[in-house]
Amino acid sequence: MTTADPQPQPVAAKPQALPRSAYRAFSPITTRWMDNDVYGHVNNVVYYSWFDTAVNAHLIEQGVLDIHNGETIGLVVETQCNYFAPLAFPQTIEAGIRVAHRGSSSVRYEVGLFAQGEELTAARGHFVHVYVNKVTRRPQPLPSQFIQVLETLS
């Protein structure tokens, strides 16, 4: 191997479905007819909107995110999902959330999507929000009330 050759990367462990106990808060999501694709299951892009819905709904319900009048917004800078079992309309999904990492202005949320009543995730993934000033789009530190809510998800 020459110095220009890339170093071999370690093989990552195969992602596994997780149980409900891995998550701290849950919210129901109702599937819609339009969520299904021609293969008869929810299309992969819908899962990412569910991630956003679950996290932002929780933050709004807890009173720390005001999407209309607040000065701070969260921008998604990274996202990923692993799929373990199909979901389809008509089905109620239960989204579990937790915080895996918190920086001064960023949060890595992990989301598990469960078919209603199932113990293991049908899909799980993460996304990272960087919280910025709505006008300047520059990162800003998370307020203490926001951090308190995040700590309940850790």
Give the span between the Cα atoms of 147 and 65, in whole angstroms. Answer: 12
From 3.40.640.10, 2.60.40.1930, 3.10.129.10, 3.90.320.10, which CATH number describes the 20-152 domain?
3.10.129.10
The Cβ-side half-sphere exposure at 122, using a 13 Å CA radius, reads: 20
Looking at residue 11, its pLDDT comes to 76
Give the pair of three-digit tokens for residue 138. 């520059």
Give the span between the Cα atoms of 103 and 3, in whole angstroms. Answer: 35
Q: pLDDT tens across 7-61, in order?
A: 777 777 899 999 999 999 999 999 999 999 999 999 999 999 999 999 999 999 9
Give the span between the Cα atoms of 145 and 90, in whole angstroms. Answer: 37
Q: pLDDT tens across 73-114, in order?
A: 999 999 999 999 999 999 999 999 999 999 999 999 999 999
- pTM for the model stands at 0.90
Looking at residue 40, its pLDDT comes to 94
